[in-house]
Chains A and B, each alone.
Chain A
Amino acid sequence: MSLLEIKNLRAAVEGHEILKGVNLTINPGEVHSIMGPNGSGKSTLAQVLARRDTFEVTGGEILYNGKDLLRMKPEEAACEGVFLAFQYPVEIPGIGNAYFLRSAINAIRKYRGEDEMDAMDFLPLFRENLKLLEMDEKLMNRSVNEGFSGGEKKRNEILQMAMLQPKLAILDETDSGLDIDALKIVARGVNALRGPERSMLVITHYQRLLNYIVPDFVHVLVDGQIARSGGPELARELEETGYGWAEPATQQALPA
């Protein structure tokens, strides 16, 4: 059975239709990449999957793990194993990273009817993942994302993913704003989490990330629809040709 099945998905923001019939199937363990020009709806797709209610679903359906994802609240989707690494991670002043993470882990455990994770079990796991992502432990006593550099915020997203062990990880432009060293660290973190039990949807504007996280499939989203699909070679092709081929239609639609 596939983990995720998106059928003819349509979504709007403030009355503007952005997704115009997206079809996508992801099987357990697969890594799919979504590429596409800015404004094509990549983040919109990610947020709809994470059930943000400012995005209005106007058509289609999403089956996740055999369940109707569109009926879930954000926290239910999260507890069912959907994780979104944000393009723009949010700051939560006054709440320490470690406390926040443990609260998240325990909220998910509670949902699943499992016992709470105590500090004794949490800390070693936390330290291990900090090391994986080469993050300073001191950073973790600070408030969530507050005063973090752009790169630190992105690494923090992957750290959270490593701690929360999702079934479906959606990475929204995790590479943007990262220098090459940070990119390699993040990619290593992501690759460490690849496995038969975990699927990933890696959203990126640039092919560069896909040299380090090699996807099984690549899809190109243009104007709210998947215009092309292929293997990793599609990403390399796009690197050479750019999105120019996809843009004339958009340009023509603009007023002169």
Chain B
Amino acid sequence: MSSQVDTTIRGLTEQDYQWGFITPIDEDRVPKGLNEEIVRLISARKGEPDFMLEWRLRALRHWLSLEREKGEPRWANIKYDPIDYQDITYYSAPKNRPVIDSLENVDPEILRTYEKLGIPLQEQKRLAGVAVDAVFDSVSVATTFKAKLAEIGIIFCSFSEAVQKHPDLVRKYLGTVVPYTDNFFAALNAAVFTDGSFVYVPKGVRCPLELSTYFRINAAETGQFERTLIIADEGSYVSYLEGCTAPIRDENQLHAAVVELIALDNAQIKYSTVQNWYPGDKEGRGGIYNFVTKRGKCAGVNSKISWTQVETGSAITWKYPGCILQGDNSIGEFYSVALTNNRQQADTGTKMIHIGRNTRSTIVSKGISAGYGQNTYRGLVKIMQGATGARNYTQCDSLLIGDRCGAHTFPYIDVRNSTARMEHEASTSRIGENQLFYLRQRGLTTEDAVSMIVNGFCKTVFRELPMEFAVEAQKLLGVSLEGSVG
């Protein structure tokens, strides 16, 4: 690429993280380290019933045995220094914990933080139709539209609240999609998770709002362990949006969330994520380690779960939102944009497990690498013996910006039923000098030209996002590439 473009790309890549600021608020935290005492302390602070504490303790024991035996999973295409799990604080909550129902009781510092992030938390500013359950560090501080949702029987609350008010639902579904034995980070999360969101949509109800949560990591040296559980009962529909940004930190911060989705007969869940945590600086110092386990179970017939993710942040992303297609005729979808710039690393993809008959899955993955970024797609499509008539379509495209970055694709296929139909397409391209010149000749700056080419590349994923999110995602991509655009 020409030197002019190179310089611009560098200029773009070197833009500072726009959302890096720290909110000074009082914190309530437990001592550093991880042992049975800490888990008991967390559970006690949250006033949990016995079944939760017992489950946490079983998870902790499992995690300890994993740690003794083999430690963290090592198969992903990512590199980082060993994490000292005893040097992490597993619980922190804002001290001035407000009454959840009213924004007036929310710490004004927190509200200011959200404003800086551009999150329209206050009702008058909020885009119509979006209910926000804001998670600040580990405890929910504001929930809105709850009354409206409650009228039609929808439960949308923090996980802690659900444990208190709907223990039977939590008990019935917790860990049924992602058991604590699933993997190292899932076990860790189960032992120490502090909060998250809970959604239950009753039979036949179509949730009239996009449910939305903004996550934010604020306290220094505080790992954040979110847990989200969404249950769509028979014939219901819900669309859930998750978005996040985080302030600048020097130390790496571990984030090991778990999300479980359950769709019963004829139910649909649409789960969209825009992830913009602090990616670290140009040299790869700092930044979030995002080790997340997300999975949905299409438990019922004709059910559908659709994941859409736009991953632009974090130093390391390790994430494979998948679907277990158990019900006959159920559908799983995964639409992903993952961008790595500077020293960011992403190893992300999906798992589609076809169990029921005539189950279908679609995978569209768009990886963008710039700077020294390393981007890996890792996907598994498994067709079990009983999954007669199963179909999968996979499309994996990589776009390279500059010549110091990398793109890797590992599509695993395991077919045990001969009636399965599999389609796979893959491509790798580089932003062409001819494309850039064409756009610049029409008056666009190099930055805008790159942004336009990248947005075009991601279009099939963006159109799966709810409208207001799609706009945000496009802007985010432009900002994340500012300085990266080659």
Contacts and interface: CB of A to CB of B under 8 A. Distances in A.
Interface string B417-458: 000000000000000111101111111111010001101111
Identify which of B3, B440, B459 gathers the most chain A CB atoms within 10 Å of its CB: B440
B15 interface: no
Nearest to A88: B434
B4 interface: yes
Given A86-B438, A89-B438, A104 B2 contact: no
A160 B444 CA distance: 14
B456 A103 contact: no
Interface in A94-108: 94-95, 100, 103-105, 107-108
B460 interface: yes
A83 B438 CA distance: 11
Nearest to B449: A75
Contacts of B4: 53, 73
A62 interface: no
Contacts of A103: 444, 448, 452
A122 interface: no
A168 interface: no
Contact of B440 (A78, A94, A164): A78
A92 interface: yes
Nearest to A160: B442
Nearest to B448: A107
Nearest to B440: A74
A171 interface: no
A108 B445 CA distance: 10
Nearest to B460: A94
Contacts of B437: 50, 52, 54, 74, 90
Contact of B459 (A52, A94, A108): A94
Contacts of A93: 456-457, 459
Interface in B259-317: none
Interface string A113-126: 00000000000000
Contacts of A11: none
A164 B444 CA distance: 13
A69 B460 CA distance: 39
A79 to B, nearest CB: 5
Contacts of B433: 54
Nearest to B456: A94
Contacts of B460: 94
A143 interface: yes
B458 A111 contact: no
Given A54-B433, A90-B434, A94-B459, A78 B452 contact: no
A175 B2 CA distance: 30
A18 interface: no
A158 interface: no
Contacts of A164: 442-443
Contacts of B434: 90
A84 B456 CA distance: 23
A75 B444 contact: yes
A88 to B, nearest CB: 8
Contacts of B443: 75, 78-79, 104-105, 107-108, 111, 164
Contacts of B442: 78, 100, 104, 107, 160, 164
Q: What interface size band does chain A fall in?
A: 20 to 34
A78 B448 CA distance: 14
B444 A95 contact: no
A78 B441 contact: yes
Contact of B441 (A74, A91, A143): A74
Contact of B455 (A95, A111, A160): A95
Interface in A132-163: 143, 160
Contacts of B432: 90
Interface in A173-213: none
Interface string A38-82: 000000000000101110000000000000000001110111000
Nearest to B434: A90
A56 to B, nearest CB: 10
A100 B448 CA distance: 11
B471 to A, nearest CB: 13
Contacts of B3: 53
A100 B453 CA distance: 11
A157 to B, nearest CB: 10
A90 B460 CA distance: 20
Given A54-B2, A90-B434, A107-B445, A75 B440 contact: yes
A150 B457 CA distance: 23
B366 to A, nearest CB: 10
Nearest to B5: A53
B440 to A, nearest CB: 4
A55 to B, nearest CB: 10
Nearest to A82: B441
Contact of B452 (A77, A84, A89, A92): A92
Contacts of A83: 441
B400 to A, nearest CB: 15
A83 B441 CA distance: 7
A104 B439 CA distance: 8
A86 B444 CA distance: 16
Nearest to A75: B440
Contacts of B457: 93-94
Contacts of A100: 442, 452
Contacts of A75: 440-441, 443-446
A92 B2 contact: no
Contact of A94 (B2, B5, B446, B455): B455
Contacts of B438: 86, 89-90, 92
Contacts of A53: 2-5
A81 B223 CA distance: 55
B440 A73 contact: yes
A210 to B, nearest CB: 24
Closest 9 CB pairs of A and B: A94-B456, A94-B459, A104-B442, A90-B438, A74-B440, A107-B443, A95-B456, A78-B443, A108-B443
Given A53-B4, A94-B459, A107-B445, 6 more contacts: A52-B437, A90-B437, A92-B438, A95-B453, A95-B455, A107-B442
Interface of A: 50, 52-54, 73-75, 77-79, 83-84, 86, 89-95, 100, 103-105, 107-108, 111, 143, 160, 164
10 contacts: A53-B3, A54-B437, A75-B440, A92-B439, A94-B459, A95-B456, A104-B439, A104-B444, A107-B445, A160-B442
